[in-house]
Structure 1
Amino acid sequence: MSTSWRQRWQEGRIGFHLSQPHPALLEYWPTLGVEQGTKVLVPLCGKSLDMRWLADAGHPVLGIELAPEAIAQFLTQRQTPVSRYTQAGFEISRQGSVELWCGDFFHLHIRQAAEVGAFYDRAALIALPPATRERYAFHLAQLVPPGAAGLLVSITHEGEGAGPPYSVPDQEVAQLFTPNFRVTLLEQGSPDERGRTESVWSLERRGPHK
């Protein structure tokens, strides 16, 4: 995945990027009951403006992104100071309350995510090929504590196997996350002009015996 993902950013083929926060984030995040000050994990974050919205809403943000081009573009959106350092093989850039970790999400250890109490996935699951999605769902479950709430946006479309964004059927979303999360379908949209249909989910990390 890493080569094709980097190539997309280098060539500017990032049709999954929105020029404003995602409508589902604005509508449904407040319903999750995530307290202000709770750190939010954003896997495969790209240069998403959703991170700005979360930060402005009072959440420290931990974004993980493989492509340094994406991080550089995010940081230039605001003329505010950036501090940079290295930890556990990640190149980290901090701007305000947003931390961007450049590296492989699967290399993020639970120690690095110790302060995380919520998560947001608008473009991570749908960026992964089928063989990697189960690994992703399991790793996410290891990184967030019991009770952690999250919002997930998935996509279905006719181009089976074509992506990213890949088509992830609702049944697969439920199958991937139900072992470790309480999964609730919040909204199922209508197909857009490209035949893509978005579904919005709330996830809550289960405890050991729930």
Structure 2
Amino acid sequence: MAGQWVDRWREGRIGFHRSQVHPALMQYWPLLGARPGTKVLVPLCGKSLDMRWLARHDHPVLGIELAEEAIEQFVAEGTGEISRYRQEPFAVCRQGSVELWCGDFFHFHIEQAAEIGAFYDRGALIALPPATRQRYAFHLGQLTPPGARGLLISLVRAPGDEGGGPPFSVTADEVRELFEPNFLVTHLEDGQPEEGSGFRESVWALVRRGPAV
């Protein structure tokens, strides 16, 4: 799976990349209650412009991405000085208030997530096959402290096409099953089917359970 993902970036097969900031992020993020200055974790971030939007709205961003090509494209398309360093086992590239960690999300540990207070997932859950999604939800719960706010965007495919992917179809029932053990889960909206694809996105607000909630 990891090799296929890297190959897609190398070959330019990135139809999942949006050329504009996701409208659900702009609409719902201000309602989550994540304070300015809160560091936002973006798993499987690609070169999403959503990270720049979060940075413009006073959030340091920590994106994790397996494909080095995605990270290099992100900083090449941006402005500002680039710094590079290592946080083993990750190579880190920083531009402005956006840090991009190149490596496997599952190798990112709680000690490295000490400053994380919020998260945004538009492309991580739906990029993972069913067998990996439970592991992902559990790991995200480990990385986020009680009270951390997050915005999740899932999708379902058109009838008859549910087995394809990535992106994979993730039903509302599965979202609740995956995340409710560790998060308060609120369904915000179901979008309209995307023209030409049949995808329909759903938007969720998540709050990490714990004493701070």
TM range (shorter): over 0.9
Q: Partner residue of 1:199?
A: 202
CA RMSD of aligned residues (A): 1.2
Written as runs of structure 1 = structure 2, the 5 A alignment for 1:3-152 is 3-152=3-152
Report the count of equivalent residues: 210
State the alpha-carbon separation in 1 of the partners of residues 212 and 53 from structure 2. 34
Tell whether 2:179 aligns with 1:181: no
Equivalent AA in structure 2 for residue 164 of structure 1: P
CA contact (8 A) 2:147 2:212 kept: no
Counterpart in 2 of 1:2? 2
- The aligned residue for residue 155 of structure 1 is 155
Partner letter of residue 136 of structure 1? Y
Which amino acid letter does the alignment assign opposite residue 204 of structure 2? W
Report percent identity of matched pairs: 68
1-structure distance, mates of 2:68, 2:120: 20
1:192 positional shift:
1.5
Unaligned runs of 5+ in 1: none
Q: State the one-letter code of the partner of 1:104.
A: D
> How many angstroms apart in 1 are the aligned matches of 2:54 and 2:91?
22
**Which residue identity lines up with residue 207 of structure 1 in the other structure?**
G
Moved over 3 A (4+): none
The answer to whether the Cα contact below 8 Å between 2:146 and 2:212 also exists between their aligned partners in 1 is no
Counterpart secondary structure, 1:54: helix
